[in-house]
C-alpha cells in the first residue's frame, strides 16, 4: 500500500442568499412583535392609587391572554374599564378584592368578604376616607380597590365591574429598570 494520502472530494456548501436571510429575520421580528402586541398591553401608572406597590411613572405589561384561559382571582392586579367612565383614557389599574356572588364590607377601615376579615399585607396605612360600605356582587361582577385606600377612585366610588370590562392582569413591571419585577397575586414591594 502506498503512503499517498487519499483525497476525498469536499462537499460544496450552499451559501444562502444574504438578502433572503435578512428578509426572513425581519419577517420573524414582525411576527413576534405582532403576537406580543395581540397578547399584551403596555400600561403606564398615573397617580398614587396603587402606592406603595406601584408609583406614578411605572410601566407594566398586562396579559390579555390570562383571562381568556382563567378566571380573575382575588389579589391580582387588574387593568379594567370602569363603568360610567367615558374619558379619553378611562382604563384603571386596581387590586381585585371581591369575586362574583360575594358580599364585600368595608368597616372600621378593614375589608370583610362574606363576614371574614381579609388579610391585606399590600396596604400601607389604615383607611380614613370612604371606609364604610357594603356591596353584594352579582354572578358577573368584581370589586376592585387601590392599595392606597385613602387616595384611590375605585369600586367604592363607581361600583362593581362586570367581567366584560376587564382587560387583563398585570404580569411584569419593566420600567424603571431598577424596579423590574414580575407581578403575582399579593404583590408587595416597597422599593422606593
| Given the residues 2, 12, 16, 49, the one annotated as active site | 49
Tens of pLDDT, residue by residue over 5-48, are 677 777 766 666 888 888 889 999 999 888 887 788 889 999 99
Judged by DSSP in three states, 73 sits in coil
For the chain, give the longest Cα–Cα distance.
Answer: 102
What's the mean pLDDT in 108-125?
Answer: 91
Q: Residue with C-alpha cell 382571582?
A: 73
Q: How many CB atoms lie within 10 A of CB 12?
A: 6
Can you give the residue ranges of every domain in the chain? 42-182
Tens of pLDDT, residue by residue over 37-46, are 778 888 999 9
| Given the residues 63, 94, 152, 155, the one annotated as active site | 94
Average pLDDT, the chain: 87
| Rounded alpha-carbon distances, angstroms, from residue 128 to 63, 153, 177 | 33, 14, 33
Q: What CATH number matches the domain at 42-182, 3.30.360.10, 3.40.605.10, 2.10.109.10, 3.20.20.80?
A: 2.10.109.10
Residue 94 annotated in active site: yes
Tens of pLDDT, residue by residue over 150-168, are 999 999 999 999 999 999 9
Residue 191 has pLDDT above 50, yes or no: no
CA distance 21 to 82: 47
Confidence band (pLDDT; 50, 70, 90) for 131? Answer: confident
Amino acid at each position: 500500500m502506498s503512503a499517498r494520502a487519499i483525497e476525498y472530494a469536499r462537499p460544496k456548501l450552499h451559501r444562502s442568499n444574504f438578502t433572503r436571510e435578512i428578509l426572513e429575520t425581519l419577517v420573524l421580528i414582525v411576527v413576534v412583535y405582532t403576537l406580543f402586541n395581540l397578547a399584551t398591553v403596555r400600561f403606564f401608572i398615573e397617580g398614587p392609587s396603587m402606592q406603595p406597590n406601584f408609583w406614578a411613572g411605572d410601566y407594566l405589561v398586562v396579559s390579555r391572554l390570562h383571562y381568556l384561559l382563567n378566571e380573575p382571582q382575588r389579589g391580582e392586579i387588574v387593568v379594567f374599564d370602569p363603568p360610567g367612565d367615558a374619558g379619553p383614557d378611562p382604563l384603571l389599574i386596581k387590586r381585585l378584592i371581591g369575586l362574583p356572588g360575594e358580599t364585600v364590607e368595608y368597616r372600621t377601615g378593614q375589608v370583610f368578604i362574606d363576614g371574614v376579615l381579609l388579610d391585606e399585607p399590600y396596604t400601607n396605612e389604615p383607611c380614613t376616607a370612604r371606609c364604610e360600605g357594603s356591596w353584594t356582587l352579582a354572578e358577573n361582577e368584581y370589586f376592585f380597590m387601590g392599595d392606597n385606600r385613602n387616595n384611590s377612585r375605585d369600586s367604592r366610588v363607581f361600583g362593581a365591574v362586570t367581567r366584560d370590562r376587564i382587560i387583563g392582569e398585570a404580569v411584569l413591571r419593566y420600567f424603571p429598570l431598577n424596579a423590574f419585577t414580575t407581578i403575582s397575586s399579593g404583590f408587595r414591594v416597597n422599593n422606593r
